[in-house]
Amino acid sequence: MFPTNSPIPINAKPLAVQDVAAVNRVEPNNFSVNAGNEAPNGALPYANSLMSGSKKLQDEVEKTGSKMKQHEDNLKFLKAQKNQLDDAILDLQVSLGKYISSSAPKTEDSDTSQVRSEDETVEQILRHENSAAGIYCQFKYRHGSQLSTPILSEDVLGVVASLGKVDEDNLNRLFSEYLGLQNMLAIVCKTYEGIKVLEMYDGEGLVNKGSGIQGLGASIGRALEGRYSVICLEYLRPYAGEFLSDDPQRRLDIPKPRLPNGNTPAGFLGYAVNMVNLDRPHIFCLTSSGSGLRETLFYTLFSRLQVYRTRAEMLLALPCISDGAVSLDGGMIRSTGVFSLGSREDVDVRFPKFSQRAGLPDKYYELENQIKQKKWEKERLQEDIRREQALLDQEKYNFSLRKQDFLKFLADSSTIITQHQLQTAAAHNRQGPPR
């Protein structure tokens, strides 16, 4: 995709291709044919036909050359844009390095706690050993370095529970209960290609249990039965609004709920989708359109789920709750008019606990996000460059074929015209000199 703010310069004039210029142009005065009425065997009409065919072939060669020039100009422009992005990325990386060198080192306790929390979530998933998520994590975290399988490719991102972090235990319990075990154990793929490697079918449309995730489960004696959820990011409708400015987590700028009197409800703490923290690789640029997990996966799962301090305050806010709400003391509204009553249900799979890296300012994360954004733009440019190069190669091939046809036509025409000239001369010789 070309940048919309910098249109690609296209030379609108026909290209004077060097190879074409090297070919002898076939013009009317190049035909040494007797144009008199007595031209034998219809030489003049035939010569005119040859000239018409030559002009047509010559036009085709020059038209293909013009297309080649257009693709060459496009490539030149795209490569210049790529070079500018390379320079910008390098400058940002230099700035990032200054923050790293000047910031306090990470504390060992913080790192250990973070790893331990993530390991606990993986262990929780592995307890569901006959689930698709359990089988996936078994191979990813225990056999991943030993196996090469499409299921462990970059297109399969992981399990929902492992893709976000929540920094407060009570909120973590609430969110996992709201989503339910099936959603927490759902496998997430970037594109439909990831879904296709998870499950394959035989000629009758039945699941092939010897391949995909079923095949992996069978190889370790874990039979996967029933259904399991897979979420494909490229088919989700992402959040279409703005993001909070200067927020390294790129939280969504969703307007606060308003009561009929215009006030924000008492006890409103925020939206669940913004209370999930993401690792930097997952903040943005996961889909082909550049969207991250927050505005795709977690916006789909939570939508505009509101979080309140108490159940009483949540109930007072009913007039402005459209997509559900939860409260820290266990209240839950799943959607307008649908309440979840009774005791809390403890879902045994939860998000890891989020621990902010010590010693690094928010500017550091902002620079990291800018670098990722530039790298994403570079990837898109590289795709455009590959496409333009393929088109250029095709036009070069077409040019070569048409030039060969043109040269062959010229050679054949020259032979035929020579024969006409010889016939004309022979006819004059038979008639003798004029009296």
Give the mean model confidence (pLDDT) for residues 1-29.
Answer: 40
Positive or negative, the CA dihedral 285, 287, 290, 296 is negative
Domain enclosing residue 80, as ranges: 68-102+360-428
How many domains does the chain fold into?
2
pLDDT for the residue numbered 25: 42
Show the CA angle centred on residue 429, arms to residues 424 and 430, nearest 5°. 100
Confidence grade of residue 10 (pLDDT, cut at 50, 70, 90): very low
Q: Provide the Cα torsion 305, 118, 153, 381; round to 10°.
A: 60
Show the CA angle centred on residue 334, arms to residues 241 and 225, nearest 5°. 100
Residue 17 lies in a domain: no
Lookup result for tokens 């070919």: 23
From 340, 359, 378, the end of a domain falls on 359
Question: How does pLDDT run across 139-192, given as a tens digit for each residue?
Answer: 887 765 455 677 777 788 999 999 999 988 889 999 999 999 999 999 999 999
Lookup result for tokens 């649908």: 338
CB-based burial of residue 211 (10 Å sphere; 0-12 exposed, 13-18 middle, 19+ buried)?
middle
Q: Is 85 in the same domain as 168?
A: no
pLDDT for the residue numbered 59: 82
Q: Which of 131-135, 151-155, 309-313 has the lowest mean pLDDT?
A: 151-155
Residue 282, Ramachandran bin (φ over 0: left; ψ between -120 and 50: alpha; else beta): alpha
Lookup result for tokens 């992402």: 238
Residue 55 lies in a domain: no
Alpha-helical segments (H) within 103-168:
108-126, 132-142
Q: Is 406 in the same domain as 354?
A: no
Q: Is 196 in the same domain as 75?
A: no
Nearest to 103 by CA among 353, 367, 370, 279: 367
Q: How many CB atoms lie within 10 A of CB 412?
A: 12
What is the Cα–Cα distance from 103 to 209, expressed in whole angstroms? 52
Within 13 A of 376's CA, how many CA atoms are on the CB side?
18
Residue 31 lies in a domain: no
Q: Is 139 in the same domain as 207?
A: yes
Question: How does pLDDT run across 313-349, given as a tens digit for each residue?
Answer: 999 999 999 999 999 989 999 888 888 887 777 888 8
% of the chain surpassing 70 pLDDT? 78
Q: With 70 as the cut, is the pLDDT of residue 253 above it?
A: yes
CB 358 within 8 A of CB 113: no
Residue 321 lies in a domain: yes
CB 79 within 8 A of CB 375: no
pLDDT for the residue numbered 427: 74
What is the Cα–Cα distance from 46 to 412, expressed in whole angstroms? 13
Q: Is 141 in the same domain as 203?
A: yes
Alpha-helical segments (H) within 268-336:
299-302, 311-316
pLDDT for the residue numbered 435: 55
From 359, 381, 399, the end of a domain falls on 359
Confidence grade of residue 11 (pLDDT, cut at 50, 70, 90): very low
Q: Is 165 in the same domain as 241?
A: yes
What is the Cα–Cα distance from 145 to 224, expressed in whole angstroms? 23
Give the mean model confidence (pLDDT) for residues 34-49.
Answer: 50
Residue 36 lies in a domain: no
Q: Which residue has the higher pLDDT, 363 or 290?
A: 290
Residue 229 lies in a domain: yes
Confidence grade of residue 106 (pLDDT, cut at 50, 70, 90): very low
Q: Is 93 in the same domain as 197?
A: no
Q: Is 72 in the same domain as 152?
A: no
Q: Which of 46-50, 270-274, 286-290 has the lowest mean pLDDT?
A: 46-50
Q: With 80 as the cut, is the pLDDT of residue 79 above it?
A: yes
CB 138 within 8 A of CB 224: no
Give the mean model confidence (pLDDT) for residues 220-230.
Answer: 85
Residue 62 lies in a domain: no
In terms of average pLDDT, the best of 252-261, 350-359, 378-387 is 252-261
Residue 12 lies in a domain: no
From 332, 359, 386, the end of a domain falls on 359
DSSP for 370-390, written as a single string = HHHHHHHHHHHHHHHHHHHHH
Lookup result for tokens 């299921």: 151
What is the Cα–Cα distance from 139 to 161, expressed in whole angstroms? 17
CB-based burial of residue 272 (10 Å sphere; 0-12 exposed, 13-18 middle, 19+ buried)?
buried
Q: Is 293 in the same domain as 305?
A: yes
pLDDT for the residue numbered 36: 39
Q: Is 239 in the same domain as 291?
A: yes
Mean pLDDT of the chain: 78
Q: Is 183 in the same domain as 235?
A: yes
Q: Edge-to-edge, what's the strand order for the sheet holding 306-308?
A: 268-271, 306-308, 325-327, 332-335, 338-339
pLDDT for the residue numbered 73: 92
Three-state SS at 271? strand
pLDDT for the residue numbered 45: 60
Question: How does pLDDT run across 376-433, given as a tens digit for each residue?
Answer: 788 778 888 988 999 999 888 888 888 888 788 777 777 777 777 777 777 777 766 6
